Amino acid sequence: MKKLLIAYHSMTGGTEQMARAAARGAAEEAAVEVRLLRAAETGPHDVLDADGYVFATPENLASMAGLMKDFFDRCYYAALDRINGRPYAALICAGSDGQNALRQLERIATGWRLNAVAPALIVCTHAQTPEQILSPKQIAAVDLERCYEIGAALATGVALGVF
Ligand SMILES: Cc1cc2nc3c(=O)[nH]c(=O)nc-3n(C[C@H](O)[C@H](O)[C@H](O)COP(=O)(O)O)c2cc1C
């Protein structure tokens, strides 16, 4: 059975909702096993074992979240040249920007020779004050639907072997 790994980090819940929506979409494809894992609990074996990936991270301090970076740091060389050409999609949850986190993620994915099979999705929560930024997030249904569709498309392509 083909496997789709969804690795994510989330502090105030926004990215987690996006990752879970992608997982629900991917689960529509019965021929693919979906593994939804927090980045801190994801290791090289999980990366090598998967046929495709969704990477989901907040942007914090103009960077991908530290624990997402830690995941890539721990897995990068163990997986280098062993996952070439596999498909992936990127989901970013940001306050108002998200571009730097996406750029970093895409550079790593390029190093891994992964194949971006869906346009990256940046969802902004528009939190401005420290209180808003630290509060639990609620991602709009329309954005969760886009995450769902990305997960579904990725899983379908993995199942059919079209990527
Ligand atoms: C320490 C910190 C730094 C942040 N820096 C940025 C930033 O540089 N750019 C941005 O667009 N959002 C920034 N944010 C906002 C988060 O990206 C936003 O709150 C998002 O919802 C976090 O995702 P999460 O809910 O999955 O934790 C920052 C939030 C925190 C806590």
How many other C-beta atoms can be found within 10 angstroms of the C-beta atom of residue 142?
8
Burial class, 128, CB count within 10 angstroms (exposed 0-12 / middle 13-18 / buried 19+) = exposed
State residue 144's pLDDT score: 98
Look at residue 133 in the predicted model and tell me its pLDDT: 97
pLDDT tens-place string over residues 89-140: 999 999 999 999 999 999 999 999 999 999 999 999 999 999 999 999 999 9
Residue 97: per-residue pLDDT: 98
Instruction: Note the pLDDT of residue 123.
Output: 98
Q: Which amino acid is at 11?
A: M
What is the pLDDT, as a whole number, of residue 127? 94
Q: Per the confidence metrics, is the pTM higher than 0.95?
A: yes
| Of residues 8, 47, 53, 58, the one with CA closest to residue 26 | 53
Contact 148, 22 (CB under 8 A): yes
Q: What is the pLDDT of residue 19?
A: 99
- Substitution site in 59, 92, 99, 131 for ligand 1 pocket (most atoms within 8 Å of beta carbon): 59
Q: H-helix or E-strand containing 104?
A: helix 99-111
pLDDT cut 70: percent of the chain above it? 100
Mean pLDDT (the chain, rounded) = 98
Taking the C-alpha atoms of residue 137 and residue 114, their distance in angstroms, rounded to an integer, is: 30
pLDDT, mean of residues 76-86: 98
Q: Which ligand 1 atom is at minimum distance from the Cα of 133?
A: 19
Q: What is the pLDDT of residues 22-78, one digit of tens each?
A: 999 999 999 999 999 999 999 999 999 999 999 999 999 999 999 999 999 999 999
Whole-number Å distance, alpha carbon 67 to ligand 1 midpoint, is 13
Residue 14 beta carbon below 6 angstroms from any ligand 1 atom: yes
Secondary structure class of 80 (helix, strand, coil):
coil
